[in-house]
Amino acid sequence: MTTHPPKFTFDNTYARELRGFYVPWEGAQVPSPQTVLVNDELARELKLDPAALATSEGAANLSGSHSPDGAAPLAQVYAGHQFGDFSPQLGDGRAILLGEIIDTHGKRRDLHLKGSGRTPFSRGGDGKAVIGPVLREYIVGEAMHALGIPTTRALAATTTGEDIFREGHKPGAVLARVASSHIRVGTFQFFAARGETDKVRQLADYTIARHDPDLADDPEKYLKLLSRVISRQAELIANWVLAGFVHGVMNTDNMTISGETIDYGPCAFLDSYDPDAVFSSIDEGGRYAYGKQPVLAQWNLARLAECLVPLINPDDADDAVRQATNALNTFPALYQDAWLKGMRAKLGLATELEQDIDLANALTEAMKGQDVDYTGFFRQLATEVGDDGASTRALFKDGGTFDHWFEHWKSRLQLETATTQEITNRMNAVNPIYIPRNHKVEEALAEAENGNYERAQSLVQVLKDPFTEREGLETYAKPAPKDFGPYRTFCGT
């Protein structure tokens, strides 16, 4: 058992280069920080000894109680459209950026603590987080990573020894998370809303240096930055939709410039396929419903475009708007291409035919209102490559709808040169069998609230390899039992 404290090597460009974009800030003292989950693999990627993170000094570092040497802790400022309404003053209200670490691949990563106490941006909040939402972000984020979806990642979950009031008392906790940066659409909006164009430019230059360094000397760098963010987000949202993921709170302050999924609050994975699925208790209008995510992403990107307009052409606003609009208009096609590419893979197609879009759309159309488990469907379908479809048909309320689509798929498969087994294998390589099923996540969180982290740990372990079926894990592959009822999530506070 290691007793050495962790040794972090920071290089803090945000603190050094972006004065005026944050407030230097320390985390709050907490009574008894204890690291309950550590991401060993990610720790090593950050050149950290996982065992050292679990020491008392490690827990103090990861709870915000004691900043490690070399850290430059700060609270970032940002704004954001929340459910369509602009909030000019948000920011890290319960989080701090400890600093940046260059990982073993030479990539710069932010180390950020969520739940580390009040900051100047806390407004009415207590600055804290509780174990349930911290572990939900840990579990779901790691599942997304294993599914190959860009995301911030959890490095550790640390309990604080405090009781926090949230519909009763809950154990306080802090999530240590890692991101390629925490620059959000809302970070640009904060300065743009105040008419501080120089700051917007400074932020854009910093962002380009950090995420798109090849654009640094490009005369159209700001327009191209916008286009890059548009393509990254188109790809990301397509990945969400392909995986059946509903983010739940796609406010512009929760949309990254890097294209990573961020801020897992009231998120959930679909059981039954339903474009109108909403899990968040606060999304009463269904603004961020499963099927609306692409449209809302484009809306958010338009807010980013507005911020960049004065940089795109400082002399001619009409021209800048035209260029930004053209860039935004590429989103639907980029999204559809990414989605179709993913759907082809899910359906076992290695060749690309133009009419595949009809096959893909016909499938989602056929699934509507059928109570079909979205994730289970594709795994079942993979068993039918050389078969008659009966076992997949049984998943539908009305088998007739499926039969029609199945024939279409079967005739399309004729055009593939692979063997039945090869097609099955490649379908199983992209269609997960294990996702963070809502009832499984809830079970793990409920136990963690009572101080038992075993279920959370095993769930993380199972989800690390979502594609390989393993004996003994049958319950992880099943949709929620009927008595679980409709699923509701609450904002990640």
Residues binding ligand AMP (CB under 6 A): 90-94, 121-122, 125-128, 249, 253-254, 263, 265, 491-493
Binding site partner of 235, from Mg ion, ligand AMP, none, Cβ cut-off 5-8 A by kind: none
Only segment of 203-211, 246-254, 349-357, 428-436 that touches Mg ion (CB under 5 A): 246-254
- Binding-site string for Mg ion from residue 197 to residue 236, where x marks contact by CB under 5 A and - marks none: ----------------------------------------
Q: What minimum distance in Å lies between the beta carbon of 65 and ligand AMP?
A: 17
- Residue placing its CB nearer to Mg ion in the complex, 133 or 244: 133
Which pair of structure tokens corresponds to residue 264?
């897992």
Identity of the residue, 177 or 210, whose beta carbon is nearer to Mg ion in the bound complex? 177
Q: Which is nearer to ligand AMP, 231 or 233 (CB)?
A: 233
Which part of the chain contacts Mg ion (CB under 5 A), choosing from 98-106, 232-240, 254-262, 433-441? Answer: 254-262
User: Considering 253, 271, 274, 373, which one is annotated as catalytic?
Assistant: 253
Closest approach, Cβ 462 to ligand AMP, in A, equals: 27
Instruction: Find which of ligand AMP, Mg ion, none residue 45 binds, CB within 5 to 8 Å per kind.
Output: none
Q: What is the DSSP letter of 486?
A: S
Chain-centroid distance of CA 56 in Å reads: 30
Examine residue 263 and tell whether it contacts Mg ion (CB under 5 A).
yes
Please say which residue, 66 or 177, places its beta carbon nearer to Mg ion.
Answer: 177
Cα separation of 7 and 264, whole Å?
28
CB 395 within 8 A of CB 389: no
From the list ligand AMP, Mg ion, none, partner contacted by residue 390 (C-beta under 5 to 8 A by kind)? none
Interacting partner of 94 out of ligand AMP, Mg ion, none (Cβ under 5 to 8 A depending on kind) = ligand AMP
Q: Looking at beta carbons only, is 262 or 430 nearer to ligand AMP?
A: 262
Which structure tokens are listed for 355?
Answer: 């009419």
Q: What is the CB-side half-sphere exposure of residue 189 using CA atoms within 13 A?
A: 27
Q: What are phi and psi of 22, to 5 degrees?
A: -165, 170
**Contact predicate 421/108, CB 8 Å:** no
With CA atoms as reference, report the closest residue to 302 among 258, 261, 254, 252: 252
* Partner from ligand AMP, Mg ion, none binding residue 74, C-beta < 5-8 Å depending on class: none
Provide φ and ψ at 93, rounded to 5°: -90, -15
Q: Which is nearer to Mg ion, 191 or 378 (CB)?
A: 191
Cβ neighbours around 421 below 10 Å, total: 10
> Is residue 217 among the annotated active site residues?
no
364 binds, among ligand AMP, Mg ion, none (CB under 5 to 8 A by kind): none
| Residue whose CB is less far from ligand AMP, 93 or 399 | 93
Question: How far is 119 from 147, CA to CA, in rounded Å?
Answer: 34
Q: How far is the CB of 204 from Mg ion (least distance, A)?
A: 21
Residue 493 site contact among Mg ion, ligand AMP, none (CB < 5 to 8 Å, cut-off depends on kind)? ligand AMP
Cα 211 from chain centre? 18
Residue number closest to ligand AMP, CB atom: 125
The answer to whether the CB of 202 falls within 8 A of the CB of 159 is no
Residue 340 CA to residue 364 CA, distance in Å, equals 12
Which CB, 162 or 373, lies closer to ligand AMP? 162
Contact of 159 with 33, CB cutoff 8 Å: yes
The verdict on 254 binding Mg ion (CB under 5 A) reads: yes
DSSP 404-460: HHHHHHHHHHTT--S-HHHHHHHHHHHS-S----HHHHHHHHHHHHTT--HHHHHHH
User: What CA–CA distance (Å, rounded) separates 4 from 131?
Assistant: 26
> Of Mg ion, ligand AMP, none, which one sits near residue 492, judging by CB under 5 to 8 A according to partner kind?
ligand AMP
Shortest Å, Cβ 253 to Mg ion: 5
DSSP per-residue letters across 251-320: -GGG-BSS--B---SS-EE-SB--TT---BTT-TT-TT-GGGHHHHHHHHHHHHHHHHHHHH-TT-HHHH
The stretch among 227-235, 261-269, 384-392, 450-458 that binds Mg ion (CB under 5 A) is 261-269
Q: Which of 131, 47, 149 is nearest to 463 (CA)?
A: 149
Instruction: Output the smallest distance, CB 84 to ligand AMP, in A.
Output: 14
Residue count, binding to Mg ion (CB under 5 A): 2
Of the pair 221, 303, the CB lying nearest ligand AMP is at 303
Active site members: 253
Given the rule CB under 5 A, which residues bind Mg ion?
254, 263
